[in-house]
Amino acid sequence: MIKEENILTVRSVIGDKVYNPEGEELGCVRDMLIDPETGKIAYGVLTFRGCSDGGDVKKFAVPYEAFVLNEEKDCFTLNVDKEMLEKAKSQDTYQGNKYYVY
């Protein structure tokens, strides 16, 4: 039997806002990258500086376990300095998409 209170759908978290512990908005959850060998979520994709793909938005592949769910506020917390995301320069390409690595 599946216990609903312990399970989220990927669709339910796409678009959720992400904040750092200081309360600064970092962006939104844009996608999830699944490890095909384990079937588990390996990375969450954070869109930094917005919730779309336009403008100067940066996409970060962040290990999923780094995201802390705040069910009360329907958002995530990520323990990262906003300035570090601002200055990120290295990118990896995965299936044609470029991601900054966290």
Closest CA to 46 of 72, 21, 13, 73: 13
Distance CA 39, CA 99 (A): 21
Q: Could you tell me the two tokens for 19?
A: 């904040």
Comparing 19 with 96, the larger pLDDT belongs to 19
- Is the per-residue pLDDT at 97 higher than 80? no
- Grade residue 9 by pLDDT with cuts at 50, 70 and 90: confident
- The pLDDT assigned to 12 comes to 84
pLDDT averaged over every residue in the chain: 84
What pLDDT sits at residue 3?
58
What the block records as the tokens of 80 is 């990262």
Q: Which long-range contacts (CB under 8 A, 24 or more apart) does 63-72 make?
A: 63/102, 64/32, 64/40, 66/102, 67/18, 67/29, 69/8
Positive/negative CA dihedral, 41, 81, 72, 99: negative
